[in-house]
Amino acid sequence: MDKAVLIVEDEKDIREIIEYNLKKQGFVTEAVQDGVQALKRIREGRLGLVILDLMLPGIDGMELCRIIRSDREKAVRETPVIMLTARSEEIDKVLGLELGADDYITKPFSTRELIARVKSVLRRYETAKAGPAAEQIIEVGDLVVDTGKYQVQKAGRRLDLSAVEFKLFLYLVQRPGRIISRDLLLDAVWGNESYVEPRTVDVHIRRMREKIEDDPSNPRYIMTKRGVGYYFSEKAAAP
């Protein structure tokens, strides 16, 4: 990867360990010590990934992640973020609606885990980016998704999804197991030029479920994370 990994961490030792190990793996790295510097650098663009510590002086990691995810610039909003957290109880929050980080690492972490997480998040982004352009065929359970034709087949039968339903479905199916907030779905599917109520997402999800699920009230593919949003079942995505 030619784009740099930005490490945002005020603790020198941890910052240096991460940099050292990523460099050893061939990554280009940059490092800053606080949220203000981080935000400035992120807005300059051309970063492959940000490793963001939760506890930072000034703007903390949570606030910074929130700022990134609601930035006006699409490129900034879509910056891959891995959060470093010392407390496992924060994980739900970190990955959920409020922050929308892509993954997390709990301190203390092993180098191997760190590298694995970084590679996995980058891979996920590359797949998502290559998705529609490459006219991918995605097979999940008894569903076959043709991203080029905007079609979903279930057990060989073509489902009559609207364009919006298809876009919602595709966004979720390309990120199995990741909880996507209503706001993020609104942004991804409707864009931010039109004002659509978050409840609209629920309505479309309900209609989509009626077409996709065997039993819409007991879904197998499109799952609800109460109070947060939706996700595509990782279980359904498992081969």
β-partners of residue 8 are: 32, 52
Segment near Ca ion (CB under 5 A); pick from 53-61, 172-180, 184-192, 206-214: 53-61
The minimum distance between CB 56 and Ca ion, in angstroms, equals: 6
**For Ca ion, the closer CB: 10 or 183:** 10
Q: How far is CA 72 from CA 36, 43, 124, 187, 193, in A?
A: 17, 10, 23, 11, 11
The minimum distance between CB 16 and Ca ion, in angstroms, equals: 13
Mapping DSSP onto H, E and C, the string for 36-58 reads HHHHHHHHHCCEEEEEEECCCCC
β-partners of residue 155 are: none
208 and 168 Cβ atoms separated by less than 8 Å: yes
Q: What are phi and psi of 229, to 5 degrees?
A: 175, -135
The minimum distance between CB 57 and Ca ion, in angstroms, equals: 8
Q: Is 98 in the site for Ca ion (CB under 5 A)?
A: no
The minimum distance between CB 125 and Ca ion, in angstroms, equals: 25
Distance of alpha carbon 157 from the chain centroid: 30
Strands 151-154 and 157-159: antiparallel
Q: Is 53 in the site for Ca ion (CB under 5 A)?
A: yes
**Count of residues near Ca ion by CB under 5 A:** 3
CA distance 135 to 103: 27
**For Ca ion, the closer CB: 38 or 205:** 38
**For Ca ion, the closer CB: 51 or 172:** 51
**For Ca ion, the closer CB: 55 or 91:** 55
**For Ca ion, the closer CB: 14 or 196:** 14
Q: How far is CA 115 from CA 75, 82, 111, 214, in A?
A: 23, 11, 6, 39
Member of 10, 78, 90, 142 binding Ca ion (CB under 5 A) = 10
The minimum distance between CB 91 and Ca ion, in angstroms, equals: 17
Member of 3, 34, 36, 55 binding Ca ion (CB under 5 A) = 55
Nearest residue (beta carbon) to Ca ion: 55
**For Ca ion, the closer CB: 53 or 103:** 53
Segment near Ca ion (CB under 5 A); pick from 29-37, 48-56, 148-156, 217-225: 48-56
Q: Is 143 in the site for Ca ion (CB under 5 A)?
A: no
110 and 92 Cβ atoms separated by less than 8 Å: no
Query: What residue ranges bind Ca ion (CB under 5 A)?
Result: 10, 53, 55
